[in-house]
Chain A
Amino acid sequence: MVTLLKLEQAGFGYGSKMVVSGVDLTVDAGDFLGIVGPNGAGKTTLFRGLLGLLQPQCGRIERAPGAIGYVPQRENLDPIYPVSVAEVVHMGAYGRLRGLRGFPRVDRERAAQLLVRVGLADKGSAAFASLSGGQRQRVLIARALMKNPQLLLLDEPTSGVDRGAQQKILELLHDLHAREHIAVLLVSHQVSMLRSAVEEVLWVSDGRVRRGPTREILAPENLDRVYEDASSGAPEED
């Protein structure tokens, strides 16, 4: 099994404040994991650390070169930009473009294939902001795939979309996982979705990370124990 991400006693935080620490984690090809935990527990910090947006304050992290494809929360992308769907997907290849070089035909064709792959073949020239939430999310997945990643890191991919769109996104991720052997690691606060979609989760709480089977970690009695007051920062039972 190829190891894509390996953390040893890693800690991440901001300034002098450590938010998550002592993280020992290995993500291998073939993994399909969720990251879940109460609000403010450090999910986003861990996610940013895995992506390389935060350097570890202690311990070490190893990433397989070029392995990671990143899918941000679509709400973070301002709809004021009149970018087309094709332009957004092309951005996934910008990392290897320099200066005056035109956008290579091979990347253009790859982008078109990926739009077919995510079920949006006819939307290339549409304005990104004009798409529904679920469609935009699939465009962002296509963008991440432009890098030919072995691991997809997704930030709240199904938040704020209806059940039909959520189902399509999850089917796409499972299909990429099964057919193209792409490992998937997704942050979500939607407990019900995670229970049905992933077999293993990383539970982030009190600055610590624990990995285990979804059924065990997200069992209702377990969640009740963690959240004495279920209304304060608990993940959503959708």
Chain B
Amino acid sequence: MEGVGWQEFFSLFRYALIAALLAACVLPVVGCFLFVRRTSFHGIALPQLALAGVALGFALLPWCVRHLGWPAADPQAALDSKHALMNYSLSWAGLFSFGGLAVLLALGRRGDNEIGRVAAAFAIANASIYIFTRWAPVGKAEVDELLQGELSYVGIHELHTLLVVLLLVLGVLFLFHRDLVLVSFDREMSRVLGKRVLAFEALLLVLTGLTVAVGTMILGPTLLFGLLILPPLAARLYAKSMLAYFFLAAGFGVLQVVLGALAGFRIDLPLGPAMVGCGALLLVPGLFRRP
């Protein structure tokens, strides 16, 4: 960044950098489950759906301010009440993430083409973002910032929310990692051993939906895609056990964020895309490995 020193850069983006590092420790682990369950495409479609939800929230903000007792006189003033606005947007992101997951799973039970289904969800969500943003009298700048992955809007409220949700997700993954791996790897064996397979599968979906909703709201879909998909893909080349896989993926995630922050600072790039670009570099050694 031109004319900005390290200290200024860190001071300006400290919450964003801490949030990105925190996300780098947790999102790749969630992504590992998406990858081995062959549902990585969910990691692309769901953040887009969540952002469509946020955009719809902005479109409906005037109505909500008028009718739902919002503590602001008009939509423009509502944008200034950061905490209330974040909770409001988070609700929309969660509604669309979980709603999208439910619809994808319901359609999946009919056995039609999954990749086509998820690709359609992505396309519809992408178009919806622009349509809802066009309808919204306010919030266009916020949605654009999320799309561009600048991370400049991450403040202390966002960091607290991300911290609480991601620590919760990480705690649950740690607590149940054996069951979640078993249920994913060998469903029938799980049932023979008396595991509650549907409950654990539902738990994985809830963790995925929660991560996506909060991650989209705070980091934007670009960095979210990058952390859910690239580190697990790179780590799969080297891991020889599931435990090693989780740690390697999280390690690659942190490396991706650190290198991305350096690149963003040195070459003056938006932080989110710079971090994803560095994540892509992690895949390069895999091109030279024999399958």
Contact = CB atoms under 8 A, between A and B. Distances in A.
B21 interface: no
B193 interface: yes
Interface stretch (A89-97, A113-121, A213-221): A89-97
A1 interface: no
A76 B185 CA distance: 9
Contact of B242 (A83, A100, A147): A83
Interface residues of A, number: 28
B195 A82 contact: no
Interface string A66-77: 001010100011
Contact of B192 (A52, A97, A100): A52
A58 to B, nearest CB: 22
Contacts of A84: 240-242
8 contacts: A53-B188, A72-B186, A76-B186, A80-B36, A91-B189, A100-B175, A126-B240, A147-B193
Contacts of B239: 82
B285 to A, nearest CB: 16
Interface of B: 35-36, 38, 175-176, 178-179, 181-182, 184-186, 188-189, 191-195, 236, 239-245
B240 A125 contact: yes
Contacts, number: 75
A199 interface: no
A53 B192 contact: yes
Q: Which 9 A-B pairs have the closest CB atoms?
A: A95-B193, A84-B241, A82-B239, A127-B240, A70-B192, A82-B245, A81-B36, A81-B185, A94-B182
A88 to B, nearest CB: 8
Contacts of A143: 189
Interface of B, secondary structure class, is: helix
B178 A94 contact: yes
Interface string A133-145: 0000000000100
A68 B192 CA distance: 9
A91 B186 contact: yes
B178 A81 contact: no
Contacts of A78: 36, 38, 185
Contacts of B244: 82
A74 to B, nearest CB: 10
A103 B243 CA distance: 13
A83 B175 contact: no
A156 interface: no
A91 B192 contact: no
Contacts of B195: 94-95
A99 interface: yes
A82 B38 contact: no
A184 B184 CA distance: 27
Contacts of A170: none
A172 interface: no
A223 interface: no
A83 B177 CA distance: 13
Contacts of B242: 81-84, 87
B178 A82 contact: no
Nearest to A52: B192
Interface in A178-197: none
B38 A72 contact: no
Nearest to A90: B178
Contacts of A80: 35-36, 38, 236
Nearest to A51: B192
Contacts of A126: 240
Contacts of B178: 91, 94, 97, 103
Interface string A19-56: 00000000000000000000000000000000111000
A94 B195 CA distance: 9
